[in-house]
Structure 1
Amino acid sequence: MVKPWAAEQIVTNDVALELISTQFPELVPVTVKLIGEGFDNTVYQVNEQYVFRFPRRSIAVDLLLVECALLPHLYSLGLPLAVSEPVFIGKPEERYLWPFAGYRFIVGESPGVITVEQRMQSALPLAQFLSMLHRFPVAKAKELGVPNDLLGRLDLTKRLSQVDSNMNKAMELGLWSDRRVLDVFLSSLGDGENIKESGNSSFTQCLVHGDLHIRNVLADDNQLISGVIDWGDVHIGHPAVDLSFVYSYLPWEGRRMFFSIYGEADTATLKLARFRSIHISLLLLLYGYDQQDDSLVAATQDSLRLAFEDL
């Protein structure tokens, strides 16, 4: 299996400590604590006040610079969910050849396996947050360097085969037991052309987070979503890319509440959102298994069950 999360460069604890101490002497004495290794970045908590992200793959370098240009503008909007505020921009040097960034620490943890009632309480702030984000002026975002979707995130001619293959892998590994609901849903998409054409002709491009899932949101002690992190995939694209989280996080009654606040979406957009929800959940499920992260495996299995709910 090709692992898209494989790192090209890893920053160790000692290297992170040295880079930060040298480039930002105002933070000395520096304490660093590894808090995450995602697809694109190695993440350290620094002095219990900041989070520093170091790209693990070359593709993430330009993404980091774009998000650092955009995030101060989003931060100033007073969004209902906290967003990262970059305050330190690290420069490439011999020990680490890419730029890196430090952000104010947002209190919270990734949600795990939670109840329906706990999920429901996030429908309102999530709807308000995405409504405001998707109304951010596209022209302004482009001025700040935000690109269009260069990865074909909703290209069904490519993604359909990936979903099919990843579901087969999940079943081989014993992570999922029945794909019949998936097959019914995929058959409703046909070869992807009808839904793709409908989606492309009926949506208005907007600013999207681009990678909204349980590893990129934070929840407070009551499991209420309180923040959105990791903006490296931000782009101008289809709102379904972000609306996919509605299908992987909220139960059907929560979705109804969400869209009553966010606004109605057409059938093509909803199908694309559900499809991406399934795609990302399967990818995270396999990633969790590969990383021996039992909590992520359990959480993404719940995400899949929600994505298949009411089909």
Structure 2
Amino acid sequence: MANIWDPEQVVSEKLAKELVERQFPDLSPVTVTTLGEGYDNTVYLVNDCYVFRFPRRQIAVNLLNTEKGLLPKLAGTLPLQIAEPIYFGEPVEKVYPWPFMGYKLVRGNLPGVLTEEKRVESAVVLAKFLRALHDFPVDQAKALGVPPDMLGRLDIGKRKTALLERIDQMEALNLYGNVHNLRRYVEGTGPVALSEQQCLVHGDMHIRNLIVDGHHMVTGVIDWGDVHIGDPAVDLSIIYSFLPKRGWNLFFEHYGRVDDSTKALAKWKAAFTTVSLLMYGHDIGDQEIVEACSQSLDLILEK
């Protein structure tokens, strides 16, 4: 079956250099280094100071425009660094059809495989970050062009079949040792009512969108392409995919009370996202992603 991360267009290092130099001569001479690629964007480090993201799919263009309106307003208001856009590239006829953006670099590393102790150390700052984000005025976010959830990210009934198919693929490829317990959890989870609370959410909180420092503390959150007005469970999923069970209460002490239905939805979203990310890592041959996601799945399945 087709993968949701299959690109429609990929910007090469050579083309990225040409586009940036053509539109932002103040950055010349431009050096370009590949940082990575996600479902929606190809990402390059420019002059060791800026991150440029080039959409890989048409759907990513609207997401980029949402970031353009919102992130400058959020920058400096949250207890973690975020990627603030400062360069706004335009399409070039017959060369590249979509806008692209350059951001201040959030320095650090992706978390990868971490000890439980290191994960727990970030529980408080993650809680304070999400509390501040979810308290951002919804009316202001809407005025800045932030959309509602149009993808049914928490629709268990709609997404369960796709998740089970990916779990079957994982088992066939021998990608995860605890696949039977994972399938049992997914099969035993039915639809859960959404919260009446709607708030500004990052929309894609997972281990590839966190930045850690040299001490493995979370210091930044990147890739805001899925930001929307929605259920807080979408973001609270990071509790289950990043923190061990003994870090959950510490998180909630600083974030605030969360009802059982929201917790159940958050755990489901964590499983769905992590399985998809693990299969993506396998598809592109990145064993580090596979190993990190396997550790996240172990955390999700803790009882």
> Which TM-score bucket, shorter chain as reference?
over 0.9
User: 2:240: which partner in 1?
Assistant: 247
Aligned residues: 302
User: 2:225: which partner in 1?
Assistant: 232
User: 1:167: which partner in 2?
Assistant: 167
User: 1:295: which partner in 2?
Assistant: 288
Whether contact under 8 Å (2:170, 2:279) holds in the other structure is: yes
Task: Show CA shifts across 1:202-248 (max 9, x none).
Answer: 43100000011111111111111110000000000000000001100
User: 1:83: which partner in 2?
Assistant: 82
Task: Show CA shifts across 1:145-188 (max 9, x none).
Answer: 10000000001111111221111111111012344433443454
The separation in 2 between residues aligned to 1:184 and 1:107, in whole angstroms, is 39
How do 1:50-129 residues align onto structure 2 when only pairs under 5 Å count?
A: 50-77=50-77, 79-94=78-93, 95-129=95-129
Report the alpha carbon displacement of residue 76 of structure 1 after superposing the two structures with TM. 3.4
What amino acid is aligned across from residue 212 of structure 1 in structure 2? M
What amino acid is aligned across from residue 160 of structure 1 in structure 2? K
Deviates more, 1:156-165 or 1:38-47: 156-165
The separation in 1 between residues aligned to 2:60 and 2:199, in whole angstroms, is 21
The Cα RMSD (Å) is: 1.1
User: 1:21: which partner in 2?
Assistant: 21
User: 2:136: which partner in 1?
Assistant: 136
The separation in 1 between residues aligned to 2:66 and 2:144, in whole angstroms, is 7
Structure 2 gap segments, 5+ residues each: none
The separation in 2 between residues aligned to 1:76 and 1:289, in whole angstroms, is 36
User: 1:209: which partner in 2?
Assistant: 202
The 3-state SS of whatever aligns with 1:88 is strand
Report the alpha carbon displacement of residue 252 of structure 1 after superposing the two structures with TM. 0.6
What amino acid is aligned across from residue 199 of structure 2 in structure 1? C
Asked if residue 257 in structure 1 is aligned to residue 250 in structure 2, the reply is yes
Report the alpha carbon displacement of residue 2 of structure 1 after superposing the two structures with TM. 1.7
What TM-score, normalized to structure 2? 0.97
Deviates more, 1:163-172 or 1:229-238: 163-172
The separation in 1 between residues aligned to 2:187 and 2:115, in whole angstroms, is 31
Structure 1 gap segments, 5+ residues each: none
What amino acid is aligned across from residue 102 of structure 1 in structure 2? G
What amino acid is aligned across from residue 40 of structure 2 in structure 1? D
What amino acid is aligned across from residue 9 of structure 1 in structure 2? Q
Question: Percent identity over the alignment?
Answer: 49
What amino acid is aligned across from residue 174 of structure 2 in structure 1? G
Task: Show CA shifts across 1:90-113 (max 9, x none).
Answer: 011121110000001110111111
What amino acid is aligned across from residue 83 of structure 1 in structure 2? I
The separation in 2 between residues aligned to 1:141 and 1:159, in whole angstroms, is 27
Report the alpha carbon displacement of residue 47 of structure 1 after superposing the two structures with TM. 0.7
What TM-score, normalized to structure 1? 0.95
The 3-state SS of whatever aligns with 2:216 is coil
User: 2:10: which partner in 1?
Assistant: 10
